[in-house]
Structure 1
Amino acid sequence: MSNSYKVASSTDSVCAMRMLAIIGLGYVGLPLGLQFARCGVKVLGLDIDPIKVESLNSGQSYIHHIPSEEIQKQVSEGRFTASTDFSRIREADAVVICVPTPLSKNREPDISYVLNTGKSIAPHLQKGTLVILESTTYPGTTDEDLRAVLESGSGLKAGIDFHLAFSPEREDPGNPSSKVAKIPKVVGGYTPACLEKAKALYLQAVETVVPVSSCRAAEATKLLENIFRSVNIALVNELKMVYAAMGIDIWEVIEAAKTKPFGYMPFYPGPGLGGHCIPIDPFYLTWKAREYGQATRFIELAGEINTSMPKYVIQKLTEALNSVKKPINGSKILIVGLAYKANVDDDRESPSYVLMDLIKEKGGKVSYYDPYVPVIKPSREHSHWAGLRSIEWDPLKISHFDAVLISTAHANIDFSEIARNASLLVDTRNVIKNSQTNPGIIRA
């Protein structure tokens, strides 16, 4: 396709739709559905969780950065409704899949959510319907795995009877300047006709569509974006440890380096990687690459560095406690921030859980404070912490802990108050300024 990488704009012609079905109403699917609804498209949100469905239909948000008022507006005006009834896919002209793609216990891709969703769609798939996968995955998932499930369950053929495409999600939760309508949408189709249908769909809700030559090229684009971040975060995490050994502050170095107006982009160290993307997505490519006899040493090394960060932090915590003649065994430790990033309530793959596990293994007594995560919900990875509640904000309580470890820098936390009241403070996010002059504050 000679014009595969031509950028299409919302001024191009679009088609009218009866209904768009979005499967998976989480951090990706819900914002996307609301954006289409704002643009006048009738949206049916499908989810297997009846509690989510009931909440949305009553106009209540369960995601911190999505206001309930926005949901209430779209529901009341009849542009958005939620359901657990997948047979309603028959009413839709297009179906967008936004379900999780985690790693298995063996750190291998788990696309069971995608395939099971495909099996739920297939019996109700109508001729001419457009199916788009947005879940991050390895190249070949859409045109091989998902296509096979849809075709076998429906008796229809992709590219002939129905359209098939992939468009990677580009959500940035907690970033107020990140708007669905403004973020360019990469799209790859199973056939040229599939691509045109997908472009026409997205141009009803986003300003710019970037077409690529295939579903695999679109899948690979998303992996490149996240691998780029993973590798660069690993670099600054490694430099953090190297520079610390030399008595150099990595944060000061980054601030100086980012004054260069070309050839440099700042990345920041932390206690480890979290969220549903960066800790997971690169390993989708490493797994798939083995099928082609290719090694991904750079990606795997970055993963090793990033996953080692919690141990480095606990080492710093142990050294800090030893400096005041306290062992970690029996010490009361407060983790500040359970969400994987600032200003969100998403705790998936959060490094805070790894820190808590390591402290517990060493005999420490763990509590946490997070205004966005008042109680830990059951999960596959950290079910042993389920039910634990955040402590209430109280400067006096903070002073009773042997050490406070800052893991997530939420904007609504008064870190200066923590610094004043903590007897020992380990800062992994550079939120306490001028900490070099205070022996009770440790960078990690």
Structure 2
Amino acid sequence: MTTLIQKLQMKTAVLGVIGLGYVGLPLAVEKAKAGYRVLGFDVQKSKVDMVNSGNNYIGDVVNADLENIVNSGLLSATTDFAAVASADCVCICVPTPLDAHQQPDISYVKSSVESMLPFLHKDMLVVLESTTYPGTTEELLKPLLESTGLVCGEDFYLAFSPERVDPGNLIYKTKNTPKVVGGITPKCTEIAAILYESVLEAPIHKVSSPAIAEMEKILENTYRNINIGLVNELAILCNRMGINIWEVIDAAKSKPYGFQAFYPGPGLGGHCIPLDPYYLSWKAREYGFHTSMIEASMMVNDRMPEYCAERASKILNRYKKAMNGSRILVLGVAYKQDIDDYRESPAIRVIDELESLGAEVVYYDPFVPEYHEHGVVKKSEPELTPELLADADLVMVATAHTTLDYSFIQQHAKVVFDMKNAMKQVIHRENIELL
């Protein structure tokens, strides 16, 4: 009988990916490009149908790559979890959001595991990639999987390997980003590492347990959350002191050691950085520990959309305009530049704050033609025209898309509140306000 390790070495193993979103689809594509037959699973039939027809919906996936591997039969998708029975390895890449009380919602992970339980078989590898609190793999997945009667580390293998997807990053993609792997047992770690080594062109860093790998992922994003919180707080202080925070940061990063530049903005967006610290602070309370520094940075970052709306109101006031009834044009609702992802976007929260103060808000984003939030659909203005800019009492740059002509914007706008320093190269700056 051919073992799982031999199947991976010969690339005859069938690989499953549960969740075909920003993490799962790029991973499935890379596995298929490496020569494996890949099965994609998703509860959304629309995604399954798009994959099976070779139609891409994720920015970091090359359209031609998806079309080629689907046409060659290396990648197919389904909503039927019974197909898990034919898979040798399954990676779980489903969302892990926060609930209404800012507590971890791991229902998608749990339901994915429960859906595959009837089809779990011997000599199978299961890897969780979804970001979660330390202990999830050992405390939740292992007991669920062992409820089948199979023994972890003997009959099947279980590991955690955190996703490190950075949408829009032109250098680091799924294929060339180093991977961390931590298994329940040393053999679990070994087999998971063999899988990723056969797919990626990046080092595989093995750790001693899933909890180490889970905490490592939380550390990555909490590190960024805290440092962004620090610079956001300094931005507020610098504004009161009449100091340009952007020039301060540029000066500080001239030091070749001991400093890494982080930048202020209207808040945090994306699926990871705004959410992951909440996972850690929630888990810490189980041990009677309060993550005071982390929670303080979260408070600063969470307040930034409200602060930006207050600044907008003060800017309008200087131009003898009240917020109530003013027309405001927001440029960019994606959570970062040059992508179409608006998950947890601070720009949307800024819009909500402005509207709550009585402003009439429209937006323009060439990457996000419409967005859905709180059951409401909002559509982008179709074109950034001189008339659209001139009609606005205030233009607010919320996302620093590099495709926009900021000199053109400055030329036609009455006043611009640049929250991202996107207009730093614009020569005439008399009507530009910085965060």
Give the structure-2-normalised TM-score.
Answer: 0.95
- Name the CA shift for 1:18/1:65 in 2 (closer, same or farther; >3 Å): closer
Q: Given residue 133 of structure 1, which amino acid in structure 2 is its aligned partner?
A: L
1:226 positional shift: 0.4
1: CA distance, partners of 2:358 / 2:375: 16
Alignment match, 1:371: 366
8 A Cα contact 1:373 1:390, kept in partner? no
Partner AA of 1:278 in structure 2: I
Over 3 Å counting, the alpha-carbon distance change for 1:229 and 1:208 in structure 2 is same
Q: Which residue of 2 aligns with 1:4?
A: none
Equivalent in the alignment of 1:422: 413
1:405 maps to which residue?
Answer: 396
**Aligned match for 1:237, one of 217, 232, 236:** 232
Give how far 1:389 is off.
3.9
How many angstroms apart in 2 are the aligned matches of 1:435 and 1:416? Answer: 6
Alignment partner, residue 138 of structure 1? 133
User: Which of 13, 17, 20 does residue 22 from structure 1 map onto?
Assistant: 17
Pairing 1:70–2:65 present: yes
Deviation at 1:429, TM superposition (A): 0.7
Residues 329, 364 of structure 1: 8 Å contact kept:
yes
1:43 deviation in Å?
A: 1.1
Cα deviation, 1:411-444, whole Å, max 9, x if unaligned, reads: 1122221111111211001011277973421112
* Contact 1:258/1:266, CA 8 A, preserved across alignment: yes
Q: Cα distance, 1:63 vs. partner?
A: 1.8
Aligned counterpart, 1:194: 188
Label 1:437 to 1:394 Cα distance change in 2 as closer, same or farther (>3 A): closer
> 1:261 and 1:279 mapped to 2: Cα distance?
29
Task: Give yes or no for contact 1:199–1:209 (8 Å, CA) kept in 2.
Answer: yes
Whole-Å separation in 1 of the counterparts to 2:269 and 2:126:
29
List aligned pairs for 1:423-438, cutoff 5 A: 423-433=414-424, 438=429
Partner of 1:171: 165
Structure 1 residue 199: deviation in Å? Answer: 0.8
CA distance in structure 2 between the partners assigned to 1:155 and 1:417 by the alignment: 66
Query: Structure with the greater relative contact order (CA < 8 A, sep ≥ 6): 1 or 2?
Result: 1
Distance 1:279 1:96 in 2: 24
Residue 386 of structure 1 pairs with residue 377 of structure 2: yes
Tell me how far apart the structure 2 counterparts of residues 189 and 113 of structure 1 sit (CA, whole Å): 21
Gaps of 5+ in 2: 1-7
The gaps in structure 1 that reach 5 residues or longer are: 1-12
What SS does structure 2 have at the residue aligned with 1:442?
strand
Task: Return the offset for 1:15.
Answer: 5.5
In the alignment, the residues of structure 2 paired with residue 268 and residue 66 of structure 1 have an alpha-carbon distance, to the nearest angstrom, of 28
Amino acid in structure 2 at the alignment position of 1:110: D
Residue aligned with 1:186, SS:
strand
C-alpha offsets along residues 367-395 of structure 1, whole Å, 9 cap, x if unaligned?
A: 11111110113xxxx22432434442222
What pairs up with 1:150-299 in 2 under 5 angstroms?
A: 150-152=145-147, 154-206=148-200, 207-299=202-294
Contact 1:22 1:44 in 2 (8 A): yes
Name the counterpart of 1:89: 84
How high is the TM-score relative to the length of structure 1? Answer: 0.93
Which has the higher mean CA deviation after the structures are superposed, 390-399 or 319-328?
Answer: 390-399
Measure the CA separation in 1 of the matches of 2:9 and 2:146.
27
Deviation (angstroms), 1:353: 1.2
SS in 2 for 1:376: strand
Is it true that 1:61 corresponds to 2:52 in the alignment? no
Q: Secondary structure at the match of 1:386?
A: strand
Where 1:373 maps in the other structure, the secondary structure is coil
| Cα distance in 2, alignment partners of residues 408 and 344 from structure 1 | 10
Letter in 2 for 1:421: H
Give, as a single letter, the amino acid of the residue that structure 1 aligns with 2:65. Answer: E
| Cα separation, 2, equivalents of 1:173 and 1:155 | 40
Aligned AA for 1:226?
A: N
User: Are the aligned partners of 2:60 and 2:173 in contact in 1 as well (CA < 8 Å)?
Assistant: no
- CA displacement, residues 77-136 of structure 1 (integer Å, 9 cap, x when unaligned): 222111111110111110000000000010000000000001011111111110000000
- Is 1:113 aligned to residue 108 of structure 2? yes
Greater shift after overlay, 141-150 or 93-102? 141-150
Following the alignment from structure 1 to structure 2, what is the Cα–Cα distance between the partners of residues 224 and 436?
40
Q: Secondary structure at the match of 1:259?
A: coil
The CA deviation at 1:348 is: 0.5
Please give the alpha-carbon distance, in whole angstroms, between the structure 2 residues aligned to 1:396 and 1:437: 20
Which deviations, in whole Å up to 9, do the C-alpha atoms of 1:320-376 show, x marking residues without a partner?
110111111011111111111111111000001111111111111111111111011
